[in-house]
Amino acid sequence: MSSLSKEIEQYLKELLSAANSGVLEIQRNMLSEYFHCVPSQINYVLSTRFTPAQGYLVESRRGGGGYVRIVSLQLDDDDDLETIINTGIGQKINERNGEGLLDYLHRQGLLTARESRLIGIILKDRVLGGVESKDGQRADMLKYLLAALSLEDY
């Protein structure tokens, strides 16, 4: 299931990057037929890999003429960055969403590839080891690290 999710994610990202407007509108049924999977698999990918923390906004409408619209968010000013970080991190953030946020900030040119990689390493579950609330600790560390890089004052 994991590899199928990755294939769906990659396919959608390729279509989105080919769309000059940064907006992709596609039918969920077409995707599930293309990948020979149930529509809930498409929903899973959309809800876990296309989040605001990862730089995406997803809108959908169900039914016969239903569609999924994926919008690639672009940072225009500091308020947008603050909103995305606060929404994406909040009080807790899991490893996958933390990686997604770092990837998004790198794509936006706010982190170098090296900074993104280094921060990502220290946010890994295996590094946090015996910490009782890994997601809470990860969120706090991510906020402080981004502030230290002068992205925002939190």
In a domain, 40, yes or no: yes
In a domain, 56, yes or no: yes
Residues 82 and 68 placed together within one structural domain of the fold: no
Query: Which pTM value belongs to this model?
Result: 0.65
- In the prediction, which pLDDT does 1 show? 47
> Domain residues for 123?
78-148
Residues 45 and 101 placed together within one structural domain of the fold: no
In a domain, 153, yes or no: no
Question: For 4-26, what is each residue's pLDDT tens digit?
Answer: 999 999 999 999 989 888 889 99
Residues 14 and 53 placed together within one structural domain of the fold: yes
Question: Distance from CA of residue 94 to its chain's centroid?
Answer: 11
Residues 135 and 82 placed together within one structural domain of the fold: yes
DSSP string, 5-27: HHHHHHHHHHHHHHSTTSEEEE-
* Ranges of the chain with pLDDT below 50: 1, 152-154
Residues 7 and 38 placed together within one structural domain of the fold: yes
Domain boundary, last residue among 28, 44, 72: 72
Domain count, the chain: 2
- In the prediction, which pLDDT does 8 show? 95
Dist. CA 152–CA 91, nearest whole Å: 17
Comparing CA positions, the residue from 15, 17, 18 lying closest to residue 27 is: 15
Domain boundary, last residue among 29, 55, 72: 72
In a domain, 102, yes or no: yes
